[in-house]
Amino acid sequence: MTLNDFRTRWTGHEPGIQDVKQQYAVLVPLVEGPEGPSLLFEVRASTLVHQPGEVCFPGGRVEPGESPKDCALRETFEELAIPPGEVELIAPLDRLVQQGKFVMHPFLGIVSPAGMAAMTPSPAEVDSTFLVPVEWLLAHPPQVYSYELKPQVAPDFPYDSIGFPRGYRWRSGETTVPVYPWPDRPIWGLTGRIVRHLMEEMA
């Protein structure tokens, strides 16, 4: 191993988030609805193994060699049949990190009337879709709940070898869960956090 090996490995490196192995991307679809600019949401199919029946944006796991932006557009087409050419991508929104397990890349985009006309939800993945006017979201801030993240350290952790007592004060954390009370379809979790961030920036 030489110093030049480090130059070769790290020159031009784009930093990611350490220890996070999985990446996901979603489209945050804006459309012109009957009540003005609106967000398009999905309800996940009840037959899905993960998070059946939950409200979400179209998206999924980033495949090897795929950019998060391309993933968001691909998943939107697979789930809703909205062609990528009918989505005007405005900007990536702030990324979310889920407790060190994965990173989520949201992309704000405007779906054209032709894209909405082409929309055909895939029954295997999508139970239904619905629109929520932006004005409603701005007028109804979410109810925000929180829960504590407590470290649970294994009994065999080597306190003696690192020179610290068993009473070492590990850091805990907290996460928030915003809930928008849209009738019959509450918007919450990561989807709620994305919506809250977008609305706070637009208020």
Structure confidence by residue, pLDDT tens digits, 154-173: 989 999 888 887 778 888 88
User: If pLDDT is split at 50, 70 and 90, which confidence band does 15 have?
Assistant: confident
Q: Is residue 1 part of a domain?
A: no
Give how many domains the chain has, as a whole number.
Answer: 1
How confident is the model at residue 120, as a pLDDT? 97
Instruction: Give the range among 34-38, 51-55, 106-110 with minimum mean pLDDT.
Output: 51-55
Q: What is the pLDDT of residues 58-76, one digit of tens each?
A: 999 999 999 999 999 999 9
d(CA 82, CA 2): 51
Q: Is residue 12 part of a domain?
A: no
Q: Are 46 and 52 in contact (CB under 8 A)?
A: yes
How confident is the model at residue 98, as a pLDDT? 81
Q: Is residue 110 part of a domain?
A: yes
Q: Are 192 and 57 in contact (CB under 8 A)?
A: no
In the chain, % of residues over pLDDT 90: 76
Tell me the C-alpha to C-alpha distance, in Å, between residue 196 and each of 32, 33, 51, 52, 101.
20, 20, 20, 22, 22
pLDDT of 100 strictly over 70: no
pTM (global) more than 0.75? yes
pLDDT of 46 strictly over 90: no
What CATH number should be reported for the domain holding residue 124? 3.90.79.10
Q: Is residue 9 part of a domain?
A: no
